[in-house]
Amino acid sequence: MTRKSTIMALGALLGLYAASQASAATDQVVIGDIDDMSGVYADVLGQAGIDVINMAISDFGGTVLGKKITVLSVDHQNKPDIGASKFREWADQNGLTMVLGGSNTGVSIAMSKVAAAKKIPFIAVGAGGASLTGVDCTPYTVHYAYDTTALGNGTASAIVKQGGKTWFFVTADYAFGTQLQEAATHVVLANGGKVLGAVRAPLGTTDYSSFLLQAQTSGAQVLGLANAGTDFSNSLKAANEFGIAKTMKPAALLAFLTDIHALTLNTAQGLYLTTGWYWDLNEQTRAFGKRFFAKVKRMPTMDQAAYYSATLQYLNAVKAVGSTDSDKVMAQMKKTKINDMFTQGGFIRADGLMVHTMYVMQVKAPKESKYPWDYYKVVKAMTGEEADGTQPDATCPMIKK
């Protein structure tokens, strides 16, 4: 290349830099679903999550403000990069108006950064990490079904109060596991218990033997399982296989109905767990459970119920404000009480957390179970404030000021 042409090329480049600008947004209703469809959390929401969104849309009438409602979905494979880049791409290219976040806190944190940058409402359902409405909060994030704080206040406190004072954690090695362990530790210490140690196991570990051996060596009374999905069922199974479930009391810090179903009541009986929803609570939940069962041949998990509820809440807000404008919709959602099959009197706090009743459950023994999917008995119903405190999370930058 000659010097002249080099200069010309550079000039052209500079011109193009100047000419570059952002493209305009389109006006339609597009709901995105970013979830683990094939990995350890695939049963918690997964394909059935898409079914549930479509159920909500058709219950709503199929259109809002005269516009067709479309659903986009992707399998994030538990990789934050896939979740974040799909979200960004849909926002830039497909006129996305709201996104539902499936399982995996790591992915949801990545998505919340995009939500803030692109100003698109992001309803996190499957993720547990309390940081979504804490240090990672955004004006566009709603944390809907449950969070790690509530899980700690439910399960951990029930177990400590029954005498399980010394704990050892087996923790899923990513944002969710560490936050869950933190929340549980906080509760254990506050109730006079002690934490003797913790070990981090990678997400999707299939052989827990060496981690459990470490737990056993610690001599703790309680084996805190700060994991979820098949990680939870695998670690509990291994604890039984290595005879550790006999010397330590396993604590399921997060277990879903599908996990208990997979483990069977024989293995899981007596476990305490905390959930935001159960199909057999009242007439409304049972009705939803039966509709879901007719379609998917399983009973819904709390996350699947929350997906349905959140989709309807969003569509109602769009209808009420007459636009998909993110700020207007968010304002509307934050001032509306949630009264539906998912919860009664739920509300979205300033930090984005949907505060609602949480239930501490105990898994029934096989002989107590009267009909299929009759797995839990309610130990205690915690009010939203008991579960998540009375004040918004002070670590959320929106709250501080």
Judged by the rule CB under 8 A, the positions of this chain that interact with another protein are 9, 12-13, 16-17, 19-22, 38-40, 42, 74-75, 77, 79-82, 84-85, 88-89, 92-93, 105-106, 109-110, 113-114, 116-117, 173-175, 199, 202-204, 206-207, 209-210, 213-214, 216-217, 229-230, 234, 237, 241-244
Residues 6 or more apart from 73 whose CB is under 8 A from it? 32, 33, 34, 35, 37, 50
- Pick 131 or 313: Cβ nearer another protein: 131
Query: Smallest Cα–Cα separation from 83: which of 130, 23, 127?
Result: 127
**Are the C-beta atoms of residues 148 and 129 closer than 8 Å to each other?**
yes
Calpha distance 380→154 (Å, rounded): 9
First-to-last alpha carbon distance for the chain, in angstroms, is: 56
Which of 231, 178, 172 is CA-nearest to residue 206? 231
Q: Taking the CB of residue 367, how many other CB atoms lie within 10 A of it?
A: 8
At its nearest, how many Å lie between another protein and the CB of residue 217?
A: 4
Q: Based on CB atoms, which residue is closest to another protein, 59 or 207?
A: 207
Closest to another protein by CB, 58 vs 210, is 210
Whole-angstrom distance, CA of residue 246 vs CA of residue 225: 15
Residue number with CB closer to another protein (18 or 294): 18
163 vs 243 by CB, closer to another protein:
243
CB of 89 to another protein, least distance (A): 7
Q: Which is nearer to another protein, 170 or 341 (CB)?
A: 170
Cα 35 from Cα 41, distance rounded (Å): 9
Closest separation in Å from C-beta 171 to another protein? 11
Q: Name the one residue in this structure whose structure tokens are 């950064």.
A: 113
Tell me whether residue 159 or residue 257 sits nearer to another protein (CB atom): 257
**Shortest distance (Å) from residue 106 CB to another protein:** 4
Q: How far is the CB of 128 from another protein (least distance, A)?
A: 13
- Give the shortest CB-234-to-another protein separation in angstroms: 7
Q: Which element (helix H / strand E) includes 305?
A: helix 302-321
Shortest distance in whole angstroms from residue 318 CB to another protein: 26
Check: CB of residue 53 under 8 Å from CB of residue 33. Answer: yes
